[in-house]
Amino acid sequence: MSYISKPRVPYAGIKRNKLGFTVRDYEGGMSTLCAGCGHDSITAALVQAFFELEIPPHRVAKLSGIGCSSKTPAYFLDGAHGLNAVHGRMPAVATGANAANRDLYYVGVSGDGDSLSIGLGQFAHAIRRNVNMLYIIENNGVYGLTKGQFSASADVGSTPKKGDPNRNLPIDPVVFALGIGATFVARSFSGDKDQLIPILKGGLMHKGFALIDVISPCVTFNDHVGSTKSYAHTREHIQETVRSDFVPPAEAIEVDYQEGSATPVRLHDGSHIVLRKVAPEFNSDSRSETISYLEKHQANGEIVTGLLYLDKDADDLHKTFDTTDRPLSEIEFEELCPGEAGLEDVYRMYR
């Protein structure tokens, strides 16, 4: 199938953001995924998030690996630079790109196969380096493009369309990421746009690696009775802990966020994430308490969602390496080359 563009003619009265862009300007090519695919809802949520954040599309770099999820960067932000890397290796490319140009917004879209099997190592090390990017795992528990094999996120006992139930222990990206020090960890559901969009916005504005694990059912290979990643199962077992709102820098924090019921967290650019606790016993300030909360509730089959952990002050890759504030890619050659004088120094050093 060839690349298809959607018509871009705006109708009169279409809503524009401060940059003058309509939501259509944040869309991409026509999706070639199956009708009803959870990934398309996530794509739509991303379009909305970027539109509302008023980010110029060309200041975004969107990267992915291989798989159904990794096709989706072609379906949003046509005006952004895209890169579809090799399987499981998007984190490395994003790390290099971010190192070279720190001024862009980076969004990586991956899947449970891409991030939890072939790419588990790179996923982990991007977290370790706290690369400043939004990292979405579109998690459906199966390999779609190769027709329905279990992935590493499939739950024990979950049944495939044909054959025996899965017996291997799942890797939960959220618990995994928390365990190795991730600074922004969230889970959401492709079917809950109201929850997902503010989390995406918060993740984009978080200065560091923002992981969002989005349960995104595969309608073709994993949406049947017996699957623990189906729409029905997810809706039945979802348990929201925290509802988050995103408030851009210019807007005042409204009074209705009364003390106790909501906690505004100020991000580096002056925007706020306002956290409203839904589950009373949940405490998102503590990494270890979050992990034990997740383990306890997930043992009961609950799918715990929300912005589960946030450490807004951790050093990102550039802070750690103490790189200059300018993008490395924009430094003039004259500033980088030590010239004849430098070679005189070298000559003395190696005489």
Partner 1 sequence: MFKSNDVIANDFVVKVANVNGTGSSSANSLLMKSIFHMGVPVIGKNYFPSNIQGLPTWYEIRVSKDGHVARSGRVDLMVAMNAQTYLQDRDEVSPGGYLLYDSSWPRDERLARDDITLLGVPLSRICNEAFTSARARILMKNITYVGVLSALLDIDRAVISDQLKRTFAGKEHLFDANMKAIQLGYDYAVEHFSCPLRFRVEPLDDTEDMMMIDGNTAAALGCVYAGATFGAWYPITPSTSLMDGFTKFCEKFREDQDSGKKNYCIVQAEDELAAIGMTIGAGWSGARAFTCTSGPGISLMSEFLGFGYYAEMPTVVFDVQRVGPSTGMPTRTQQSDILSCAFASHGDTRHVLLFPAYPEECFYFAIEAFDLAERLQTPVIVLSDLDIGMNDWPCPKLTWAPSYEPDRGKVLNQEELEHLEDFYRYVDSDGDGICFRTYPGVHPRGSFFTRGSGHNKYGGYTEDPTEYQQVLDRLVRKWDTAKQFVPEPLVQTRPGATAAIIAVGSSDGAVQEVLENADQPLNYMRIRAFPFSASVQKFIDDHERIFVVEQNRDAQLKTLLAIELNVDKRKLISVLHYDGFPIGSDHVLAGLNGLLKESVKV
Residues contributing to the site for partner 1 (CB under 8 A): 1-3, 56-59, 61, 63, 73-74, 78-86, 89, 91-101, 103-104, 121-122, 124-125, 129, 318, 321-325, 327-331, 333, 335-340, 342-343, 345-347, 350-351
Rg (CA), the chain: 21
* C-alpha dihedral sign at 149, 127, 243, 63: negative
**Residue pointed to by tokens 């990586």:** 108
Strands 60-64 and 81-84, sheet pairing = parallel
Position 27, amino acid: E
Determine the Cα–Cα distance for residues 273 and 243; give it in Å rounded to an integer: 10
Q: Which is nearer to partner 1, 38 or 91 (CB)?
A: 91
Cβ of residue 183: shortest distance to partner 1, in angstroms? 18
Backbone angles phi, psi at 59, to 5 degrees: -95, 15
Cβ-contact 306, 300 below 8 angstroms: no
Determine the Cα–Cα distance for residues 116 and 85; give it in Å rounded to an integer: 16
Position 73, amino acid: P
Q: Where are the alpha helices (DSSP H) in 54-188?
A: 68-71, 90-100, 112-116, 120-129, 173-179
Cβ-contact 153, 139 below 8 angstroms: yes
Q: Which is nearer to partner 1, 31 or 305 (CB)?
A: 31
Determine the Cα–Cα distance for residues 209 and 228; give it in Å rounded to an integer: 28
Q: Which is nearer to partner 1, 135 or 309 (CB)?
A: 135
Q: Which is nearer to partner 1, 72 or 190 (CB)?
A: 72
Determine the Cα–Cα distance for residues 294 and 288; give it in Å rounded to an integer: 10
Cβ of residue 89: shortest distance to partner 1, in angstroms? 5
Cβ of residue 3: shortest distance to partner 1, in angstroms? 3
Cβ of residue 54: shortest distance to partner 1, in angstroms? 15
Q: Which is nearer to partner 1, 269 or 345 (CB)?
A: 345
The number of residues in the chain equals 351
Taking residue 146's Cβ as centre, other Cβ atoms within 10 Å add up to 11
Cβ of residue 31: shortest distance to partner 1, in angstroms? 12
Cβ of residue 103: shortest distance to partner 1, in angstroms? 7
Cβ of residue 259: shortest distance to partner 1, in angstroms? 40
Determine the Cα–Cα distance for residues 233 and 131; give it in Å rounded to an integer: 33
Q: Which is nearer to partner 1, 82 or 191 (CB)?
A: 82
Strands 272-277 and 303-310, sheet pairing = unpaired
Cβ of residue 226: shortest distance to partner 1, in angstroms? 33
Q: Which is nearer to partner 1, 95 or 222 (CB)?
A: 95
Backbone angles phi, psi at 239, to 5 degrees: -140, 105
